[in-house]
A and B are shown apart, each in its own frame.
Chain A
């Protein structure tokens, strides 16, 4: 089959690899119809996530048709149209049973590596380095889906591929980002990053009853999506000072909750600050560029919540612990526990409360994946989300 493989920093290729086969009784094989490129894939593309091997198949957002199931998979049959959550979760460990699917205790066969870096191991993730399992990803014609009796969700006919594939990651992730804010009536929520995750976090904050939603980025075309589809207010951090503007907008209180939907490759309007962290990152003294996170902490109202869905991989420098501690802030975080949200969010789409596919800017054939990575990386051609059609 054809599959998108990581060939080294800033390089992906569509190559020929063997077709996947059932390896365990709870596996299913899915013939992929639509798969997406994610901001998380860019971290891999840029080589910031450790333990990648040349030839690793990328992709953790995919959907398609079940073509084969293992003997223990009784809820699916060949022909079913399904969307697959990106965390691989067994469904039976304590974490899974508490709904914490992205920290499943069993799904990372390389848990030993992850423990050395993170203390304990999170779940395995499709196409997301050997640190998180060494699983082949879904930017391909087929994928093997472990624990298929727990993860994949059947998609009704009236839901389009473009809508359904949002359930693999970005819609649940944005939703969890907003849910972690514990939104009360009248509250103001600020979101750093107007990528797919930030936009859907902002949209979810609306669904969860936020009074005002403020989205921060530097790309006018992305901020426009926030204004048009979510009725959000926006701040272009290259034009104004973010902290001053937020204070002014909230009459000095600061947002009640701040969502970091940027992650470890933040960009900074101040060239000197950017150069400082970028240099440390290149020298591997610091693994992240946590501008958005630092700013979110400083901006947040005292006693408020900082919700981190932007991805981090290692260690952060100059963490404003003083502000965080002295002002009674709360931080919540995590890779999304997608399995917890797929069905309720599918129902919201069915009821017409939201159409998350408003973020999709590009659709192209799988063979054009390298081009998709390039324009998404460079934010060219007003690119927000690339779907690959198989």
Chain B
């Protein structure tokens, strides 16, 4: 596991959204080729073989489908191309609606069946487009960072402390608790604004004793996330370079806004502060507190310092 970017998160990189565009692309390809190569049979099948106009329209429909297919199969802007299929479906439905009004008997039945089939495809296309769009937007929201701190302890000591996931809340300020279910799985609870809690399960997917730990959230996390920490001996016998990579995708909507608030405007600074606390706990044995910053290092507290006076009894 060389980089956290290679850790797959089911919500973002899972198999369904990844292959959906190409499936739709292949469908467009088949329809497009059919309409261009065999307009006669297609016209008969759909019940419009009696109209000279249909003969002219079908190749145009075929070309449009080939365009969608090329777009979807290219992999670029999949959501846009998926919506182009929906737009095509809408045109087809309009044309079919007109054809239905003009016809009767067996032909009318064939046109009606075609309309039904196209309506079904439209529904699938809409669902797919929404889904592809959502995964794409989630990927666009993904926040990545790489932050490091030097700790005057051996890689083994730093690794040991981090590997016990239940220690994480001692230095990760937004965590309320982490419960290790077994050696691999854990349950995380984070504190949100206004007493809101965000919970998820995570698993360690790669564990190299005294060297690195890689973890990711399990499917169903409100905020899909993955992380990796490496413990590299610092040159000159100065302990360990603790290098952390994080990747997470805050959702849209209210939860997303809550998460954004949680991390403030400077998510990197928050993680940097977490690492400062990690260093304090490992080196000094405690999170360092002052009267102005009674909760220890914190970006928010730094901005709203209380006077450097002992705390009143009510705040202890």
Name A's B-contacting residues (CB within 8 A).
3, 5, 17-21, 23-26, 51, 53-57, 72, 90-94, 97, 105-113, 124, 127, 130, 133-137, 144, 146-147
Partner of A112 from the list B283, B297, B308 (CB cut-off 8 Å) is: B297
Rounded to whole Å, the gap between the CB of B302 and the closest CB of chain A is 5
Give the complex CA separation of A92 and B313 in angstroms.
Answer: 31
Q: Check A136–B309 contact: CB distance below 8 A.
A: yes
Q: Check B310–A144 contact: CB distance below 8 A.
A: yes
Name B's A-contacting residues (CB within 8 A).
150, 152, 238-239, 269, 272-273, 276, 279-280, 283-294, 296-297, 299, 302, 305-313, 316
Specify which chain A residues have a CB less than 8 angstroms from the CB of B273 in the assembled complex. Answer: 112
Q: Check B311–A53 contact: CB distance below 8 A.
A: no
Partner of A106 from the list B279, B294, B302, B312 (CB cut-off 8 Å) is: B279
Which 4 A-B pairs have CB atoms at the shortest separation, nearest pair first?
A134-B292, A55-B307, A90-B284, A109-B293
Partner of A109 from the list B272, B283, B290 (CB cut-off 8 Å) is: B290
21 interchain pairs (CB within 8 A)?
A17-B309, A20-B310, A21-B311, A23-B289, A53-B308, A55-B307, A56-B308, A72-B285, A90-B288, A106-B279, A106-B280, A108-B288, A109-B292, A112-B272, A112-B273, A112-B302, A130-B308, A133-B290, A137-B308, A146-B288, A146-B289
Number of A-B contacts (CB under 8 A): 131
Partner of B284 from the list A18, A94, A147 (CB cut-off 8 Å) is: A147
Specify which chain A residues have a CB less than 8 angstroms from the CB of B284 in the assembled complex. Answer: 26, 90-93, 106-107, 147
Q: Check A94–B150 contact: CB distance below 8 A.
A: yes
Of chain A, the residue at the smallest CB distance from B291 is A136
Of chain A, the residue at the smallest CB distance from B153 is A92
Q: Check B286–A26 contact: CB distance below 8 A.
A: yes
Of chain A, the residue at the smallest CB distance from B296 is A109
Give the complex CA separation of A297 and B98 in angstroms.
Answer: 94
Q: Check A112–B269 contact: CB distance below 8 A.
A: yes
Give the complex CA separation of A113 and B239 in angstroms.
Answer: 26
Of chain B, the residue at the smallest CB distance from A149 is B285
Of chain B, the residue at the smallest CB distance from A58 is B308
Rounded to whole Å, the gap between the CB of B140 and the closest CB of chain A is 29
Q: Check A93–B307 contact: CB distance below 8 A.
A: no
Give the complex CA separation of A51 and B302 in angstroms.
Answer: 10
Of chain B, the residue at the smallest CB distance from A115 is B272
Given A93-B283, A109-B297, A112-B299, do A134 and B288 touch, yes or no (CB 8 Å)? no
